Amino acid sequence: MTNSTKIKQSGEPGNQLSSHFIKTLISRDLEEGKHGGRVRTRFPPEPNGYLHIGHAKSICLNFSVAAEYGGQCNLRFDDTNPAKESQEYVDSIKDNIRWLGFEWNGEVRYSSSYFDTLFEFANQLIASGHAYVCNLSPEQSREYRGTLMEAGRNSPDRDRPAAESLALFAKMRAGEFAEGECSLRAKIDMSSPNINMRDPVLYRIRHISHHQTGDQWCIYPTYDFTHCITDALEGITHSLCTLEFEDHRPLYDWILNSLDLKSIRAASVLADSDSPYVLPRQTEFAKLKLNYTMMGKRNLRTMVEEGVVSGWDDPRMPTIAGMRRRGFTPASLRNFCESVGVSRREGVVDLGMLEHAIRDDLDKHAPRAMCVMKPLKVEIGNIPEGDVIQLSLANHPKDESMGRRDVPLTREIFIDRSDFEIDPLPGFKRLIAGGEVRLRGAYVIKCHHVERDSRGEVVLLHCSADLDTLGKKPEGRKVKGVIHWVSATDGKTVSIRLYDRLFLVENPEAKDIENYRDCLNPDSLIEVSGAVVEPSVFEGSNLRFQFEREGYFYRDGDLTATENPVFNRTITLRDSWAG
Ligand code: ATP
Ligand code: MG
């Protein structure tokens, strides 16, 4: 069977895709011919916030598993809670998935587009004695539900005749009741040790409009009622979700098994096919957790609302939108998600792993350029004013296919202030008064005279170039240091945002932390204005660079603006956090 060979190969070293328990399960289902050879997954985001790196893991899993088995992955917005949802989130989620490199099967789907069918199925459950309209108030319901230690109590409405519940449910739908006045509940078992099975609510009254269905509905189905049925209607074979839904799986199965299978099939995409109809199966995996990171949408929203970050797409946010602005590549996120693997064991992944993934990708693919963060002017006396020496530098030290670029050298250049020292510590290999240093890709220069302003600050270095040192060692002496530089006449001024980790503590969501704000890294954003980059940075369409010796950077903001372009530091060259 081809699918099992695929799995074997994927476990072999060198093959990027590794095996995991979900693939083992799918392979077994396929071998048993369970779904007629079909594999269909879905990614079911609730449009109540921006997606984060945890969602990226779920996206990668659902889409790549489907692709690996020649199946499809649907995108279905789980939009049953209109109070917190919006079109803005729908749009950003679609955009994020495509940016990650995935395309969903057919149209975008919404749970809300199944509201009519869901309503019919609810009526079916009532008619068959599996659900009832309950008049307990939300507070009373909580009281009747019991606790982990104590069984719940039956609602006084539990045994009302089906006909009465059907009539009440119709009235609920018609808007005749206020919010909280009644609800539709499944009739399961108030003494179940699993609280999810204690007659859970299937429909609640909400007099609010919905971003997709407007004012058509004033009753909305719950997640539990909706999810299993919409999975079944879309012919989903494997419904993958995170571990907190494990206790909901009995309810998922109960609802589907309490409905008439023929009517589900008739309402599903498989109605006219001869594929065997098997109900979808829910399988749980552990959520991705990252240290030094707050992840839940609720926490992310708090940071946005409290102005701790500039928005959902602040480059320090673990959102896909933020990481994208920071300069992460889709491949780096996919590689990261692949490398953390899929299991049922809850664990915390080191943020260093994510940083490694982007560093690794950019090291291979980002062209090199020079950027001077804190410019100090150097005058090279033996290059005449107005002369431009066009040097040709490789865009990548190890990859010739990335080509070369012209870098102009002129009489006046900038070097970084930190590359010059009046009183150097022992071992300082860069420029000192009377010393020599090599300009990256150019000549060795010597500093003859240091000019200071009235406050004593160094403002200009008078140097000369040894014009016999282009691509050659200087005669009769060793010059150890190499520094980066930019022509003062041809360089372009830019602003730089140096981003770093947002939190100083491993677990900013820990229970004993009173306020997450106390754990913020005060240096998570350092703005540098007046940096200077070589002109080649603006010559092509590329937006990602390694600024040599400084890190990896990504162009931000309005790309057409000529004034003050901004570069975000994606990541430093080396891991400065590793202990
Ligand atoms: P959060 O708890 O961060 O608010 P959520 O689970 O409420 O996220 P949904 O929009 O409901 O967000 O999730 C869409 C899908 O992404 C679900 O299948 C969910 O299980 C999965 N998912 C959410 N967070 C993670 C995570 N940290 N790791 C892996 N998958 C996740
Ligand atoms: Mg949720």
pLDDT tens-digit readout, 487-505: 999 999 999 999 999 999 9
CA distance 495 to 569: 11
Which residue's CA is minimally distant from atom 16 of ligand 1?
55
Q: Are 313 and 78 in contact (CB under 8 A)?
A: no
Range of lowest pLDDT (84-93, 196-205, 567-576)? 567-576
Kindly list the distances between the CA atom of residue 423 and the CA atoms of 47, 420, 433, in Å, as whole numbers in the listed order: 58, 9, 9
User: What's the whole-number mean pLDDT along residues 327-347?
Assistant: 96
Closest CA to 263 of 226, 219, 229, 239: 229
Place of tokens 């560093």: 359
Which residue's CA is minimally distant from atom 2 of ligand 1?
296
Ligand number, closest to the Cα atom of 44: 1
Query: Which three-class secondary structure string do you get for 391-425?
Result: EEEECCCCCHHHCEEEEEECCEEEEEHHHEECCCC
The tens digit of pLDDT for each residue in 212-233 reads 999 999 999 999 999 999 999 9
Is the shortest distance between the CB of 337 and ligand 1 below 6 Å? no
Which residue's CA is minimally distant from atom 23 of ligand 1?
55
Place of tokens 């089906």: 162
Question: CA 255, 257, 263 angle in degrees (round to 5)?
Answer: 95
Q: From the CB of residue 422, how many other CB atoms can be counted at a distance below 10 Å?
A: 10
Amino acid at 119: F
CA distance 341 to 41: 18
Q: Are 337 and 17 in contact (CB under 8 A)?
A: no
Q: Which of 242, 247, 288, 343 has the most ligand 1 atoms within 8 A of CB, as the residue to mutate?
A: 242
Q: Which of 20, 46, 58, 84 has the most ligand 1 atoms within 8 A of CB, as the residue to mutate?
A: 58
Q: Which of 55, 92, 509 has the most ligand 1 atoms within 8 A of CB, as the residue to mutate?
A: 55
User: What's the whole-number mean pLDDT along residues 90-105?
Assistant: 98
The tens digit of pLDDT for each residue in 194-214 reads 999 999 999 999 999 999 999
Confidence label for 578 from pLDDT (cuts 50, 70 and 90) = low
Is the shortest distance between the CB of 57 and ligand 1 below 6 Å? yes
- Count Cβ neighbours within 10 Å for each residue of 553-573 and write b for 16 or more, e otherwise: bbbbeeeeeeeebbbbbbbbe
Confidence label for 16 from pLDDT (cuts 50, 70 and 90) = very low
Is the shortest distance between the CB of 318 and ligand 1 below 6 Å? no
Structural domains of the chain ordered from first start? 1-285 (3.40.50.620), 297-365+493-533+549-579 (1.10.1160.10), 369-491 (2.40.240.10)
CA distance 62 to 568: 31
Confidence label for 18 from pLDDT (cuts 50, 70 and 90) = confident
Which residue's CA is minimally distant from atom 25 of ligand 1?
54
CA distance 181 to 421: 76
Is the shortest distance between the CB of 58 and ligand 1 below 6 Å? yes
Give the chain's end-to-end CA distance (angstroms, integer): 48
CA of 297 to the centre of ligand 2 (A): 8
Which residue's CA is minimally distant from atom 1 of ligand 1?
296
Ligand number, closest to the Cα atom of 89: 1
Cα diameter, the chain: 104
CA distance 461 to 414: 10
CA distance 104 to 114: 18
Q: What is the mean pLDDT of the chain?
A: 94
Confidence label for 558 from pLDDT (cuts 50, 70 and 90) = confident
Kind of pairing, strands 412-416 and 219-221?
unpaired
Q: From the CB of residue 414, how many other CB atoms can be counted at a distance below 10 Å?
A: 22
Total residues found in the chain within this entry: 579
CA distance 567 to 559: 11
Closest CA to 337 of 362, 320, 313: 320
Q: Are 219 and 206 in contact (CB under 8 A)?
A: yes
Q: Helices (DSSP H) in 50-161: which residue ranges?
A: 53-68, 87-100, 115-127, 138-145
Confidence label for 560 from pLDDT (cuts 50, 70 and 90) = confident
Q: Are 44 and 78 in contact (CB under 8 A)?
A: yes
Residue of higher predicted confidence among 17 and 22 = 22
CA distance 247 to 21: 19
Is the shortest distance between the CB of 297 and ligand 1 below 6 Å? yes
Which residue's CA is minimally distant from atom 22 of ligand 1?
55
What is the number of the ligand 1 atom nearest to the C-alpha of 58?
A: 30
What pLDDT sits at residue 280? 96
Confidence label for 524 from pLDDT (cuts 50, 70 and 90) = very high
Element (H, E) at 331: helix 330-340
CA dihedral 155, 161, 162, 167 (to 10 degrees): -90
CA of 184 to the centre of ligand 2 (A): 22
Is the shortest distance between the CB of 44 and ligand 1 below 6 Å? yes
**Would the pLDDT of 442 be above 60?**
yes
Q: How far is CA 296 from the centre of its chain?
A: 12
Is the shortest distance between the CB of 155 and ligand 1 below 6 Å? no
The tens digit of pLDDT for each residue in 280-329 reads 999 999 999 999 999 999 999 999 999 999 999 999 999 999 999 999 99
Positive or negative torsion for Cα 376, 380, 386, 390: negative
pTM here is: 0.93
What pLDDT sits at residue 495? 96
Which residue's CA is minimally distant from atom 26 of ligand 1?
54
Q: Are 322 and 354 in contact (CB under 8 A)?
A: no
Give DSSP secondary structure letters for 54-84: HHHHHHHHHHHHHHHTT-EEEEEE----GGG
Is the shortest distance between the CB of 356 and ligand 1 below 6 Å? no
Please tell me whether residue 216 adopts helix, strand or coil conformation.
Answer: coil
Is the shortest distance between the CB of 296 and ligand 1 below 6 Å? yes
Which residue's CA is minimally distant from atom 9 of ligand 1?
45
What is the number of the ligand 1 atom nearest to the C-alpha of 57?
A: 29
Q: Are 493 and 565 in contact (CB under 8 A)?
A: no
Is the shortest distance between the CB of 509 and ligand 1 below 6 Å? no
| Side-chain half-sphere CA neighbours of 133 within 13 A | 22
Percent of the chain with pLDDT over 70: 96
Kindly list the distances between the CA atom of residue 462 and the CA atoms of 385, 388, 458, in Å, as whole numbers in the listed order: 14, 18, 11
The tens digit of pLDDT for each residue in 359-403 reads 999 999 999 999 999 999 999 999 999 999 999 999 999 999 999
- 438 DSSP β-pair partners: 444, 482
Helix, strand, coil fractions of the chain, as percent rounded to 5? 30, 25, 45
Amino acid at 361: D
Ion ligand 2 neighbours (CB, 5 A) are: 46
What is the number of the ligand 1 atom nearest to the C-alpha of 47?
A: 10
